[in-house]
Structure 1
Amino acid sequence: MSSISSNRCWATLLLECLTRHGVRHCCIAPGSRSTPLTLAAAAHPQLYCHTHFDERGLGHLALGLAKTLKQPVAVIVTSGTAAANLLPAVIEASLTGEPLIMLTADRPPELIDCGANQAIRQTGLFGDFPGRQLSLPRPTLAIPASWLASTLDEILGGGQVGAVHINCPFAEPLYDDVVLTDDPWSAELGDWWQGLQPWLTMSHAAGITPQGNWHRWRHRKGIVIAGRLTPEEGPNVAAWAAALGWPLLSDLQSHTGQPLPYADLWLSHPEAIAILAQAELVVQFGSGLISKRLLNWQAHCRVAEYWLIDSLPGRRDPAHHRGRRIIASVLPWLDRHPPGLAAPVARRQAASAYMPPVVAGANIADAAAGVDSRPVAGWATGLQRLVAVARQRIHLTPDVEAGEIWLAHHLNRLLPAAGRLFIGNSLLIRLVDALGQLPAGYPVFANRGASGIDGLLSTAAGVLRGGLEPLLVIIGDLSALYDLNALALFRQCQAPTVVLIINNNGGQIFSLLPTPPAVREQLYVMGQQVEFEHAAALFGLSYRRPESAMAVEQALEQAWQQPAGAGATVIELRTGSREGADAYRQLIAGMPSA
């Protein structure tokens, strides 16, 4: 059989193997060398194909899909710099755990390092950021189909976290009109083609071992920190902390409802430090904390033990505490560590009302150990007063109508009902984390692994395509410019979508740095003096530029009425260059600190 037959057979089997590991979405950029993969994906009945002309945006589109679907997403690109443009998405996925499968078409070995067109060394292109890497040989029918299937199953069936890179060299010819009527190579796999299971199933031991002395620790003074969690995990962590009577310091991405909001303001207050210094144990769920004040407190807290529970591998603790790093899924861990009962607390659904368990008496294990089984009820209640002080300061802070402080503090009023939120990086996400309080379980998405501004609109487009709920995207002007062509991905939306661009003329998070003003403006902030009306028109999107808080709310309300299939609405909120950064700095300075 010819090389084109070999290419076609290998690509068909490769895509089939991916579907056996849960892949249902494939993101494809145009290219010639990737033709065998593209045609195999297009012909597969279980794959939905997304396209984008920008490979960097394509990688982030897949990242957003993986975030919301909680499924592996495949990416197909051609050789050369097309493959290299996937690196930012690979890096982000390596830090936040989204399962991406990067299929990079390549030239065969004889065309590498000899001056051939569009041929670069792609093996190891992404360094050690992918969790697993596989460089396939040139397709040949001399290698059994069972080898390819079992090799792919080994790399895909190991409990994938982050990106997998599969480099796929194809020799020409890539195109012809040959119809394969007899394919003994694929037929070697027999009735496997009619099934749904991988050729080779990889088994992994699973289970959570309870911490042996939990029955003692749960009656001590503890603190719970919630980092990046899912909408299902967040409310359950909040309920668990409430049942224990432990204060919960939570991140914007925690989905806990932030029962002690505005921690970025009050956490350095002497009274807060004195209260929290009484703690004997910190239990942290998830990682990727946003607040610098929370990170600073976390780095300097001194407790008898520090436990960090996260399903992602690695230490996940930049402060390097002495304690326990527990690699486990949050919900099963909570089940195995009840707050005060012998049986686990009934699991709480996201955004539903929680009824704490009734502790009727001593737990048997606690009684046997001579431990007082009554939980410490709200031992850090003094923090509520500091929350009230911070809230009052926010209300008294001078701010222009519809400014960044107003937006961050009142964001919960602007969210679409039963919708989702994607929020960009830099100053914007810090303001919302510090000054906002979102509903428990309301889905929040962000790229807080490497925390870059590249590919944010593309990632949001992937989040949009992964569900049917309305989506609010909030992003800064430089971030929007960085990924402007991703607006093409919002021409048709399966749910009402708003791209809210906060235009403060540059990267104003750098206004918080103690750099000379002239240098700051020229080399850090880099204001571009742009408006986004023409960008919206370029891609056929509706555009609004409200001038007041009421106008913002009205523009959003109208956007949420758009029918499915319509394009997104771009809303540009123009603010003074340094108003938000200056007001934030004043709020921080206005709270006494140790």
Structure 2
Amino acid sequence: MYSNKENVNILTSLLVKEGINKAVVCPGSRNSPIVHNLCTCPDIECFPVTDERSAGFVALGMTLADNDPVVVCVTSGSALLNVAPAAAEAYYQNRPLIIISADRPTQWIDQQDGQTIQQHQTLEPNVRKSVTLPEPHNEEEHWFCNRLINEALHATRLNGGGPVHINVPISEPLFEYNVPQLPNERKISLHPASTDDNYVYEMAADFFSGKKPMIILGQLIPEVVGNTLDAIEALKKCAVVIQEKLADDDIAPAQPTDEVLKMIGEDEAYHPDHLLYIGGTIVSKRLRQFLRKSKCKMSIVVNESGACCDTFMNATDIIQGCAEDVIGIFANETEDGKEKDFVSLWKKAFDKALAIRETINPRFSQLLAVKTFHEKMREEAIDGELFYGNSMAVRLGNIFSDQYIYVNRGVNGIEGSLSTAVGYAIAHQEEEDVYCVIGDLSFFYDQNALWNESLSPNLSILLLNNGGGGIFHQLSGLEHSPYRDSAIAAQHTTSAEGICQAHDIVYLSAHNEKELDENLDKFFNSEEGPVLLEVFTNAADDAQALRDYYQAF
């Protein structure tokens, strides 16, 4: 039996008709009619998560697993505010997250009634659509409720897609479940318009007329990268293509872009005259700074919303289109194209940097830990998906990974990295292993990701613990502040061992190179899961190892 709340039943019916089959649900009384319906519905699988902030990122991870919309449902009041970080990340990654919040009746807002705040549009501007449903009392209000839900669900796919917020006021009594079946609700189907792509072909021809064309591939979902591997290879014949592991699903060494930029210094010969930027954010600050100095005659930005996103401060054109289509169109213009001198110049630099990288043997550090982690994955032909935390972790991954990296790079925040990996692992627990490489502050901030009854045994966590925010030891000048370690870098002496014991996670640790090597073998071959390997390093040694690495170029 379903709840007797009409707006909740209309919503549940339309979620089913939209093909939505996963929901992360959080505790509460006001949202209990919604949670009850989601759990009752045979077409929707529910995953309880107590911490709303973690729940939002768990749902985000699930959207990454299947590229389908996922619901996260929270109760009224401050519970909704805790989903804001995940909403922002989903917004900048264009992920179809459906945030459903229960609300108190309008007449009780600002009347000092418990868990009652202004919830309508609370998550804007970081959602594509916000709606507050009526509690229908007649046919017209029922129609209005239906229409608002259809509009919100459409917005998860329009203009590149993204998160939406559906706010559901629910009056008491809350706990009556006497409706035998969901209503047969009207689903309004969306058919996005197709546009003439002739102008894109013309721009592609103009682009390749440049002497020094360069293509930057920002963060892309792996499905897009996988579908365009051949097209990207074709582009590499006629243009320099720069892609981090956030946009590279080809099993090959990570492109040494930062290393090359360190080598070439201020040499103008390496700057492009024509630039094409497709996809989301890039990690490399060096690359952004390099391209902001480039005097491009033509600089094209591609995104599905048509937004004027001028990352490199030299945009001349915006193409509103999806990455896969535009990559294909530009690749078609490279047929029988001769390799340009500019491409050869960069190829030689990449080859030189890769050769230098092969000779580097770092001291015991986070650099060595990530290098050894990826070497063992290659040696043992270990297959699995990679999730990286932000800050130093993803920078190290972009040096040593030879496969695609998932990372919450929409906002670049440290919160939610572990929860996102947990969500992906739950969604794919019968299919593949998930490896999360994460720094200590990111891990401890998001440790409630492990307080999750759905935690999957296919999750393995490599925790890089140097007792604080390691990246703050890389920032020149910050060493002059006496508060760098204690206040800015959040210095600590915390270990994950107790957390692992509390959540029945296999715990391993390494304090030196020998223990790292031995316990990585156990980490990859553990018959039980989840498993966590905590690598303890010194922040000063980590900083020096990275300086030594780049001084080699």
Under a length normalisation based on structure 2, what TM-score does the superposition of the two structures give?
0.89
| Residue 370 (structure 1) aligns with | none
Bigger shift: 314-323 or 87-96? Answer: 314-323
Q: Residue 227 and residue 464 in structure 1: after superposition, are their counterparts in 2 closer, same or farther (change >3 A)? A: same
| Residue 450 (structure 1) aligns with | 411
* Structure 1 residue identity aligned to 2:173: P
| Residue 503 (structure 2) aligns with | 539
Matched, 1:214 2:204: yes
Give the conservation status (yes or no) of the 8 Å contact 1:243–1:339.
no
1:392 positional shift: 5.4
1:405 positional shift: 1.8
SS of the residue corresponding to residue 432 of structure 1 reads helix
| Residue 436 (structure 1) aligns with | 400
| Residue 170 (structure 2) aligns with | 170
SS of the residue corresponding to residue 55 of structure 2 reads helix
Q: Residue 338 and residue 65 in structure 1: after superposition, are their counterparts in 2 closer, same or farther (change >3 A)? A: same
| Residue 309 (structure 1) aligns with | 302
Paired with 1:418 and 1:8, the residues of 2 have a C-alpha distance of 47
1:313 positional shift: 4.8
Match of 1:224 among 212, 215, 228: 215
1:555 positional shift: 3.5
1:237 positional shift: 5.2
Matched, 1:8 2:8: no
Q: Residue 213 and residue 123 in structure 1: after superposition, are their counterparts in 2 closer, same or farther (change >3 A)? A: closer
Give the conservation status (yes or no) of the 8 Å contact 2:246–2:406.
yes
Paired with 1:414 and 1:105, the residues of 2 have a C-alpha distance of 47
SS of the residue corresponding to residue 529 of structure 2 reads coil
Q: Residue 410 and residue 315 in structure 1: after superposition, are their counterparts in 2 closer, same or farther (change >3 A)? A: farther
Bigger shift: 13-22 or 128-137? Answer: 13-22
Match of 2:367 among 390, 393, 405: 405
Q: Residue 498 and residue 490 in structure 1: after superposition, are their counterparts in 2 closer, same or farther (change >3 A)? A: farther
SS of the residue corresponding to residue 487 of structure 2 reads helix
| Residue 284 (structure 1) aligns with | 277
1:385 positional shift: 4.0
| Residue 109 (structure 1) aligns with | 106
Q: Residue 212 and residue 388 in structure 1: after superposition, are their counterparts in 2 closer, same or farther (change >3 A)? A: closer
Give the conservation status (yes or no) of the 8 Å contact 2:131–2:167.
yes
Paired with 1:490 and 1:375, the residues of 2 have a C-alpha distance of 57
Give the conservation status (yes or no) of the 8 Å contact 2:3–2:176.
no
Matched ranges for 1:417-432 at <5 A: 417-432=382-397
Give the conservation status (yes or no) of the 8 Å contact 1:506–1:527.
yes
Matched ranges for 1:287-436 at <5 A: 287-311=280-304, 313-340=306-333, 359=336, 374-377=337-340, 379-391=342-354, 394=357, 399-401=362-364, 403-415=365-377, 417-433=382-398, 435-436=399-400
* Structure 1 residue identity aligned to 2:62: L
Q: Residue 7 and residue 168 in structure 1: after superposition, are their counterparts in 2 closer, same or farther (change >3 A)? A: farther
Q: CA deviation digits over 1:40-64, x for unaligned, max 9?
A: 1111111110111101101111111
Give the conservation status (yes or no) of the 8 Å contact 1:418–1:470.
yes
1:383 positional shift: 3.0
| Residue 583 (structure 1) aligns with | 545
Give the conservation status (yes or no) of the 8 Å contact 2:93–2:280.
no
Give the conservation status (yes or no) of the 8 Å contact 1:272–1:386.
no
Paired with 1:590 and 1:569, the residues of 2 have a C-alpha distance of 35
1:503 positional shift: 0.4
Bigger shift: 411-420 or 547-556? Answer: 547-556
* Structure 1 residue identity aligned to 2:464: I
Q: CA deviation digits over 1:415-450, x for unaligned, max 9?
A: 4733100000111212322x22413xx4x2111111
Identical positions, percent: 23
Q: Residue 217 and residue 318 in structure 1: after superposition, are their counterparts in 2 closer, same or farther (change >3 A)? A: closer
SS of the residue corresponding to residue 306 of structure 1 reads strand
Give the conservation status (yes or no) of the 8 Å contact 2:301–2:315.
no
Paired with 1:52 and 1:213, the residues of 2 have a C-alpha distance of 48
Give the conservation status (yes or no) of the 8 Å contact 1:219–1:376.
no
Bigger shift: 116-125 or 547-556? Answer: 547-556
* Structure 1 residue identity aligned to 2:345: G
| Residue 135 (structure 1) aligns with | 132
Paired with 1:77 and 1:267, the residues of 2 have a C-alpha distance of 46
Q: Which segments of 5 or more consecutive residues in structure 1 lack a partner in the other structure? A: 343-358, 360-373
1:169 positional shift: 0.6
Q: CA deviation digits over 1:367-412, x for unaligned, max 9?
A: xxxxxxx4234633233443354445545656324x2222344553
Match of 1:251 among 244, 247, 257: 244
Match of 1:43 among 40, 44, 50: 40
Q: Residue 237 and residue 474 in structure 1: after superposition, are their counterparts in 2 closer, same or farther (change >3 A)? A: farther
Matched ranges for 1:463-482 at <5 A: 463-467=424-428, 468-482=431-445
Give the conservation status (yes or no) of the 8 Å contact 2:463–2:533.
yes
Matched, 1:204 2:168: no
Paired with 1:423 and 1:9, the residues of 2 have a C-alpha distance of 42
Q: Which segments of 5 or more consecutive residues in structure 2 lack a partner in the other structure? A: none
* Structure 2 residue identity aligned to 1:40: N
Paired with 1:77 and 1:391, the residues of 2 have a C-alpha distance of 48
Paired with 2:422 and 2:2, the residues of 1 have a C-alpha distance of 36
* Structure 2 residue identity aligned to 1:332: D
Paired with 2:298 and 2:45, the residues of 1 have a C-alpha distance of 47
Matched, 1:241 2:235: yes
Paired with 2:98 and 2:217, the residues of 1 have a C-alpha distance of 29
Paired with 2:474 and 2:310, the residues of 1 have a C-alpha distance of 25
Bigger shift: 60-69 or 303-312? Answer: 303-312
Q: Residue 284 and residue 411 in structure 1: after superposition, are their counterparts in 2 closer, same or farther (change >3 A)? A: farther
SS of the residue corresponding to residue 157 of structure 1 reads helix
Match of 2:490 among 526, 529, 535: 526
Give the conservation status (yes or no) of the 8 Å contact 1:502–1:574.
yes
SS of the residue corresponding to residue 489 of structure 1 reads coil
Paired with 1:569 and 1:44, the residues of 2 have a C-alpha distance of 33
1:575 positional shift: 1.0
1:7 positional shift: 4.9
* Structure 2 residue identity aligned to 1:420: E
Q: Residue 137 and residue 419 in structure 1: after superposition, are their counterparts in 2 closer, same or farther (change >3 A)? A: same
Give the conservation status (yes or no) of the 8 Å contact 1:75–1:101.
yes
After superposition, the CA RMSD in angstroms is: 2.7
1:314 positional shift: 2.3
| Residue 367 (structure 1) aligns with | none
Matched ranges for 1:535-574 at <5 A: 535-549=499-513, 551-552=515-516, 554-562=518-526, 567-574=529-536
Paired with 1:66 and 1:568, the residues of 2 have a C-alpha distance of 21
Q: Residue 431 and residue 341 in structure 1: after superposition, are their counterparts in 2 closer, same or farther (change >3 A)? A: closer
Paired with 1:266 and 1:490, the residues of 2 have a C-alpha distance of 46
Give the conservation status (yes or no) of the 8 Å contact 2:303–2:322.
yes
1:248 positional shift: 1.8
Matched, 1:157 2:154: yes
In the alignment of these two chains, the number of paired residues is: 536
Q: CA deviation digits over 1:4-26, x for unaligned, max 9?
A: 99853321220221232232111
Q: CA deviation digits over 1:88-132, x for unaligned, max 9?
A: 111111111111111110110121111111111111212311110
* Structure 2 residue identity aligned to 1:431: L
Match of 2:462 among 470, 486, 500: 500
